[in-house]
Amino acid sequence: MRTKNSSPELLTSCKEKAMRIVVAMSGGVDSSVAAALLVREGHDVIGLSMQLYDQQQGEVRFGSCCTIDDLYDARRVAGAIGIPHYIVNFEHKFQEHVISDFVREYAAGRTPIPCVHCNGDLKFASLVDRARSFDAEFVATGHFARVEFDEVTGRHRLKKGADAAKDQSYFLFTLTQAQLARACFPVGALDKAAVRDEARRLGLRVAEKKDSQEICFVAAGEHPEFVGKRTDIPGGAIRDRDGRVLARHDGIHRFTIGQRKGLGLATGIPLYVVGIDAADASVTVGPREALESTTLTASRVNWMSGDVPPSAIRASARVRYRHREASARITPLPGGRAEVTFDQPQTAIAPGQAVVFYDGEFVLGGGWIE
């Protein structure tokens, strides 16, 4: 079912006046329709696609996003809607900001979320700079999110996408006021069905293209091999909460908090990963109730208004992209940190994941779970 704002005529993410806008085109249906909507609104649109890894002789080393086929799809869409299209080489930046961090985090016993680094550290930071060389005022993407300007505070606010099932505001919590001021999300007011309908109406070949997986550069379940090829991680012990050794493992990068499958244990009761210690390469397991916690500490917290609250606030918080938001008290701490205390226990809070704070439909900020 479409939302009440699902009409393609509604475009609330950019100003009404015609301007030059750079669109990040991944070759998927969302960014393709984003570009098409901006063209229809009368903007001067330039399509940019990011080459993230070596594609000489058609080489495809990673997953199902940003492959050479995706670059071709983006170029075909640009031709169909009549805009110039360029490919920019971000291989080094992708390696530095996304791949290297992904490997380091797993080696340290944490569970990374590379999509946040890709969107904030790479896509927006780099494309905003690149847009200046085109004299472009905005950078647009196909994210299901919205930006609104609050005339009372004089600040830009990040808002959830109208399609709750596709909302991607969680991945954008690192954006600064300067980046939000130049961000444009043309499909944020639509639902997914409306986006595909618009692609069909335009005759775009990507109308039925499947969405990419959450981690684009490694297939689901294959991250241990991916990480293991890039760094040496020793094996260690799997222990219960009393310290007794139950089994051995081949590396902590094979585990995440809350994991049940693949432990190789036959104890007669369900056991879950409740702790990972990189210092001694150990994994601790316990019953499901051991996964519950009411508090966490986050570091590198970004408050989207640009101002740290002077005291604790009430908000809802989400500890993983697919988790439900939960009511909490958020207390700012020195050094860009925050303590989050939930009203009800949360399950499988994993270091390395992001905790994002919401006030209704608006993102207040977020940080990295320690």
Contact at 8 Å (CB) between 157 and 201? no
d(CA 286, CA 306): 40
Integer-rounded Cα Rg, in Å, for the chain is 22
For residue 82, count other CB atoms closer than 10 A to its CB.
9
Choose, from 14, 115, 118, 184, the residue flagged as catalytic.
Answer: 118
| Burial (CB count within 10 angstroms: exposed 0-12, middle 13-18, buried 19+), residue 355 | buried
The C-alpha angle 335, 338, 343, rounded to 5 degrees, equals: 170
Q: What distance lies between CA 100 and its chain's CA centroid? A: 16
Length of the chain: 370
Q: Please tell me the distance from the alpha carbon of residue 194 to that of residue 36, in angstroms, as a whole number.
A: 13
Looking from the CA of 208 toward its CB, the CA atoms found within 13 Å total 1
Active site residue 66: no
Residue 216 annotated among the catalytic residues of the structure: yes
The residues that are catalytic are: 118, 216
